[in-house]
Structure 1
Amino acid sequence: MMPSPSRPAFLAAGAALVTVVLWASAFVSIRSAGEVYSPGALALGRLLAGSVALGALCLIRREGWPPRAAWPGIVVSGVLWFGVYMVVLNWGEQQVDAGTAALVVNIGPILIALLGARLLGDPMPPRLLAGMAVSFAGAVTVGLSMSGGGSSSALGVLLCLLAAVAYAGGVVAQKPALARAGALQVTTFGCLVGAVLCLPFAGQLVSEAADAPLPATLNMVYLGLFPTALAFTTWAYALARTTAGRMGATTYAVPALVVLMSWLALGEVPGPLTLAGGALCLAGVAVSRSRGRAARVVAASPRPGPARERSGGSAGSA
């Protein structure tokens, strides 16, 4: 008889759910703040708000400094994901239509799976590959259906491609750091590294904040507190308990949630093609994360034996 999944597995799954919901909500806030703040200023303001919140939480919890062995992964992920990714994505999405952005940026999870297999030794089971292919098709369908006939530039495509590469590299670099430091530590100091990298935009941030309407500034602060501070921490918690490829595939749920939130919050009624694309995204995530429990345990366990096959529900990643 198979036991029920363990509490840590439920917590990791819940953390992943919090992450994708908050990252989906970020698109509504970015739409408001991005009309007023330039890409670099928006990234810096978001990272400063996130750093203050995370730093305060670390002080309250007395987390201390991460171990020395965790710093290479923290610095690389901070530079690539918190720094480069946020700036170039903000910039790139101003240059291309939504369909092109969906096509280029959403190769990120595919790159994560490939880099994870190459650099971290993560498995690439057929279900993961099939699910990612389905979700990628859904993400592109959503983007094309919501693009509104916009135009694309070569610079915009290159920026979105750079964002996808930076995202993938940041995630793969973060994974080993999470084996040596806690999720809150890795997120806090990664966010600080990204904020330091974006300090050259401080002048833009100050001048634009002086003229910005209050809702745009509040949306920037929201981006820092929730899609950055909270969602990146829950992401790190879940990533520490699964493979980089499976976590990357989970983010394909974001386009489907964006469609739903735009419908509820902005009154943007999705068309049939948009709904079909969202359904494909969710179906692909379900396929990519539905590995057999026994197979998970055998892959994760170094010692053979029948007892481990019976404990599949409490071992492995979630």
Structure 2
Amino acid sequence: MSKLGASPKADWLAVAAVITTVVAWASAFVAIRGVGTSFGAGPLALGRLLIGSTVLGSILLLQGKWVRPNRTQWLQILSVGVFWFAIYNVALNAAEQRVDAGTTSMLIQIGPILVALFAGLLLGEGFPRWLVIGAAIAFAGAVMVGVTTALTTSDTTKTDAGFFGIALCLVSAVTYAIGVLSQKPVLRSVPGLQVTWMACAIGTLCTLPFAPALIGDLADASGAAVGGLLYLGLVPTALAFSTWAYALTRMDAGRLGVTTYAVPPITITLAWLLLGEIPHYLAVVGGAICLVGVGVSRRR
């Protein structure tokens, strides 16, 4: 059911934006995993954000549209840039150096529950019964994924790395939630492309200390790895964040959040086809439990 006053064409454009976002973000988990041996977590985040902000800035310049944010909106955009673009990307890259792409994508899906919990805690929206039940189910699933991933090897060093990787996945989910909470209100009055570019540029500035390491990694990287970096900057960053912002201005946040449920199965399929990588079956079960918990949390 579309929003009041929305045309069928607008609805189809929003659906197309959602599909583009979901597929691009799913492919990002696989691309990060693929180039993770050539780039460090910080340098990869900087390279991706630098490419994304350059492309988005060029488009914004050609459009010539600019809305001057007020102080509150600046703080909200700053929060999106620091948490969702900078910290999230570095933590995600570091996680995928230790955990497979499919497992990572499943754990990130607890983000919507964290959004609701933060809204209850910080915005006074309360903690409905189904939210608490769903959060408990999702937490149990996340624990199952984490323990399975970390313990499916007899190598102690790899086990420790697995636990650390799971912790980094949870950091990514938390910073994602903070970013979504900060982004939604500012999109009511500032264009999505502008918000995305500003946040991406802020994320780039935050990761600039990794510039020397990025230069070194680029010098040693293969052509395929550099191509993967370009893809991450152009598609999952510049394109997908723009289509997400577009969809977020035309759909309810709750309905839009449900669409990200499709990311893990797409990621697992792509990782299997492109990397020959399949999560342990118990990790998949745990991921499914996470998704059930997210679904339960949305009951009214």
- State whether TM-score is above 0.5: yes
The CA deviation at 1:261 is 2.2
Q: Which amino acid aligns with 2:201?
A: L
Instruction: Decide whether aligned partners of structure 1 residues 202 and 272 sit closer, same or farther in structure 2, where only a CA change above 3 A counts.
Output: closer
Q: Distance in 1 between matches of 2:202 and 2:186?
A: 14
Q: Which amino acid aligns with 1:188?
A: W
- 1:244-299 CA-to-partner distances (Å, cap 9, x unmatched) read 444333322111111232344456689987888898889899998999xxxxxxxx
Which stretch of structure 1 is more off in the superposition, 277-286 or 180-189?
277-286
Instruction: Decide whether aligned partners of structure 1 residues 247 and 74 sit closer, same or farther in structure 2, where only a CA change above 3 A counts.
Output: same
Determine if contact 1:66/1:186 at 8 Å carries over to the other structure: no
- The two structures have a TM-score, normalised by structure 1, of 0.74
CA RMSD of aligned residues (A): 3.8
SS in 1 for 2:230: helix
- Name the count of aligned residue pairs: 290
Residue in 1 that maps onto 2:208: 199
Which stretch of structure 1 is more off in the superposition, 197-206 or 156-165?
156-165
Residue in 2 that maps onto 1:49: 51
Q: Which amino acid aligns with 2:87?
A: V
Q: Distance in 2 between matches of 1:163 and 1:271?
A: 21
Determine if contact 1:109/1:251 at 8 Å carries over to the other structure: no
1:113-192 matches, cutoff 5 A: 113-119=116-122, 149=153, 151-153=159-161, 154-192=163-201
SS in 2 for 1:215: helix
Q: Distance in 2 between matches of 1:204 and 1:9?
A: 44
Residue in 2 that maps onto 1:80: 83
The answer to whether residue 271 in structure 2 is matched with residue 262 in structure 1 is yes
SS in 2 for 1:185: helix
Residue in 2 that maps onto 1:39: 41
Residue in 1 that maps onto 2:11: 9
SS in 1 for 2:234: helix
The CA deviation at 1:161 is 2.4
Among 63, 76, 90, the residue aligned to 1:61: 63
Q: Which amino acid aligns with 1:201?
A: F
Q: Which amino acid aligns with 2:51?
A: A
Name the % identity. Answer: 49
Instruction: Decide whether aligned partners of structure 1 residues 121 and 15 sit closer, same or farther in structure 2, where only a CA change above 3 A counts.
Output: farther
The CA deviation at 1:24 is 0.6
The answer to whether residue 109 in structure 2 is matched with residue 106 in structure 1 is yes
Relative contact order, higher structure (CA 8 A, sep 6+): 2
Residue in 2 that maps onto 1:91: 94
The CA deviation at 1:187 is 0.4
Instruction: Decide whether aligned partners of structure 1 residues 84 and 99 sit closer, same or farther in structure 2, where only a CA change above 3 A counts.
Output: same
Determine if contact 1:116/1:245 at 8 Å carries over to the other structure: no
Q: Which amino acid aligns with 2:113?
A: I
The CA deviation at 1:88 is 1.3
Q: Which amino acid aligns with 1:33?
A: V
Determine if contact 1:256/1:282 at 8 Å carries over to the other structure: no
Q: Which runs of 5+ in 1 are unaligned?
A: 292-318
Q: Distance in 2 between matches of 1:156 and 1:137?
A: 17
